[in-house]
């Protein structure tokens, strides 16, 4: 049985009681929490970053509201834009979708400054995705320039930028394409890597962080789709709901998951808990997830808080640079900030949501 079932049709839910119960903590003046967030942010900004790491870091600061730092990081992404249009490219990087994770921040910088360098850079990034990036025979954007591999990571990297850059239909097509290749309908989880040239999985495992990328990417796409795409929003909301119901039965009593979600022989990992909490908070605020998921998000959030050390590192995430053992990583830092931003926005909201099914 599914862990939860969607209720047919559209029902109204109020989060007023939920907010009242928690807001008494005076979240916005919680000095200890703000110090923790600033420490995590400071540590994140000291880390060396590849294109997607720059992208997820600047997205975290964008959603948290640090406009000044977002402008500086967006400019750096433009400084390192490749001739083909990919943003924030470091030497020898062949990723196709990863650079697009910088795109929303670059578009915001264009809006805030009217500096043409930002809009031009965003246009070139969009052109790369729409016209140049390698695709499968069914139009799914591949993860690398030099292979036909399709990775679940790309669900976060490219579709949100496509949606915010004025290509919502393509954003949805990409989500559907990745899901068709990587989704396991029995497990309700995404496999990590598909080799489209060989028509086999190059990594069939249900990687935790990969499923986190999928959840967070779809949450952002739902947010950016215009009202004319209501049916697409409904469908993507259902996809996130199904994914949560695939992940949450595997949660440990301590609020964490194993690196491969259904394999207890793999190490215990921190970041999936942050990524799912972020997606839940956003979904509840926007009304496409019921607030019954809030308790799960709070459990995972508190677990993540227990992993922050005195230096501000979020420990035991899937660690860079190889992501095959527990360690530290820019994305672990960033998703702590994203999680806190989404929770703050939910608790400050006085809106009532609509659960859509």
H or E element, residue 317: strand 317-318
Neighbours of 118 (CB within 10 A): 23
C-alpha distances in angstroms, 187 versus 183, 196, 243, 256, 296?
A: 9, 22, 9, 18, 19
Q: What is the span of the domain harbouring residue 299?
A: 11-46+134-355
What is the count of structural domains for the chain? Answer: 1
In a domain, 217, yes or no: yes
In a domain, 334, yes or no: yes
In a domain, 59, yes or no: no
Cα separation, 346 vs 181, whole angstroms: 33
Q: What is the pTM of this model?
A: 0.92
Beta bridge partners, 13, equal: 353
Domain harbouring 138, CATH code: 1.50.10.10
User: Quick one: tokens of 312?
Assistant: 């501000």
In a domain, 109, yes or no: no
Cis peptide before 321 (omega within 30 of 0): yes
> What is the full per-residue pLDDT of the chain (357 aa) written as tens digits?
344 443 333 333 345 555 555 554 555 548 999 999 999 999 999 999 999 999 999 999 999 999 999 999 999 999 999 999 999 999 888 999 999 999 999 999 999 999 999 999 999 999 999 999 999 999 999 999 999 999 999 999 999 999 999 999 999 999 999 999 999 999 999 999 999 999 999 999 999 999 999 999 999 999 999 999 999 999 999 999 999 999 999 999 999 999 999 999 999 999 999 999 999 999 999 999 999 999 999 999 999 999 999 999 999 999 999 999 999 999 999 999 999 999 999 999 964 344 333
Q: Which one, of 109, 114, 112, lies nearest residue 79 by Cα?
A: 109
207-229 b/e with 16+ CB inside 10 Å = b? bbbbbbbbbbbbbbbbbbbeeeb
201 SS3 class: strand
Beta bridge partners, 77, equal: none
Cis peptide before 122 (omega within 30 of 0): no
In a domain, 4, yes or no: no
- Note the pLDDT of residue 12: 36
- Note the pLDDT of residue 9: 36
In a domain, 205, yes or no: yes
Q: How far from chain centre, in Å, is Cα 104?
A: 13
48-57 b/e with 16+ CB inside 10 Å = b? ebbbbbbbbb
User: Quick one: tokens of 16?
Assistant: 């007023």
How big, in percent rounded to 5, are the helix, strand and coil portions of the chain? 55, 10, 35
Is residue 185 within 8 A of residue 124, CB to CB? The reply is: no
In a domain, 152, yes or no: yes
Handedness of CA 221, 226, 124, 333 (dihedral sign): negative
Cα separation, 55 vs 240, whole angstroms: 22
328 SS3 class: coil
- Note the pLDDT of residue 17: 56
C-alpha distances in angstroms, 211 versus 24, 30, 216, 243?
A: 33, 31, 9, 8
From start to end of the chain, where are the E strands? 11-13, 149-151, 183-184, 189-190, 193-195, 200-203, 257-258, 268-269, 317-318, 326-327, 353-355
Is residue 55 within 8 A of residue 98, CB to CB? The reply is: yes
In a domain, 149, yes or no: yes
């Amino acid at each position: 049985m599914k862990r939860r079932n969607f209720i047919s049709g559209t029902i109204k839910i109020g989060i007023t009681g939920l907010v009242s119960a928690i807001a008494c903590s005076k979240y916005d003046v919680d000095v200890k929490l703000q110090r923790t967030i600033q420490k995590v942010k400071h540590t994140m900004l000291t880390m060396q970053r590849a294109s997607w790491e720059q992208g997820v870091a600047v997205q975290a600061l964008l959603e948290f509201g640090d406009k000044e730092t977002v402008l500086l990081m967006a400019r750096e992404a433009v400084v390192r834009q490749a001739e083909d249009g990919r943003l924030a490219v470091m030497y020898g990087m062949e990723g196709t979708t990863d650079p697009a994770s910088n795109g929303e921040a670059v578009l915001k910088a264009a809006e805030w400054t009217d500096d043409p360098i930002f809009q031009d850079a965003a246009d070139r990034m969009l052109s790369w995705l729409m016209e140049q990036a390698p695709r499968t025979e069914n139009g799914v954007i591949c993860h690398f320039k030099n292979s036909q591999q399709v990775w679940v990571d790309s669900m976060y990297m490219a579709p949100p930028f496509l949606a915010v850059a004025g290509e919502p239909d393509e954003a949805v097509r990409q989500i559907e394409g990745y899901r068709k290749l990587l989704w396991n309908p029995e497990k309700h989880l995404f496999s990590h890597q598909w080799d489209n040239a060989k028509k086999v999985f190059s990594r069939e495992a249900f990687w935790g962080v990969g499923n986190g990328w999928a959840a967070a990417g779809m949450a952002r796409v739902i947010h950016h789709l215009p009202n004319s795409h209501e049916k697409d929003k409904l469908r993507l909301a259902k996809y996130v709901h199904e994914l949560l119901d695939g992940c949450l039965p595997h949660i440990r009593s301590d609020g964490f998951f194993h690196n491969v979600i259904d394999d207890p022989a793999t190490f215990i990992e921190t970041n999936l808990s942050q990524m799912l909490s972020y997606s839940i908070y956003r979904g509840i605020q926007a009304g496409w997830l019921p607030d019954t998921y809030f308790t799960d998000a709070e459990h995972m959030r508190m677990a993540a808080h227990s992993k922050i050390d005195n230096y501000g590192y979020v420990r035991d995430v899937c660690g860079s640079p190889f992501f095959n053992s527990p360690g530290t990583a820019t994305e672990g830092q960033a998703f702590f900030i994203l999680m806190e931003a989404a929770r703050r926005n939910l608790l400050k909201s006085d809106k009532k949501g609509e659960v859509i099914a």
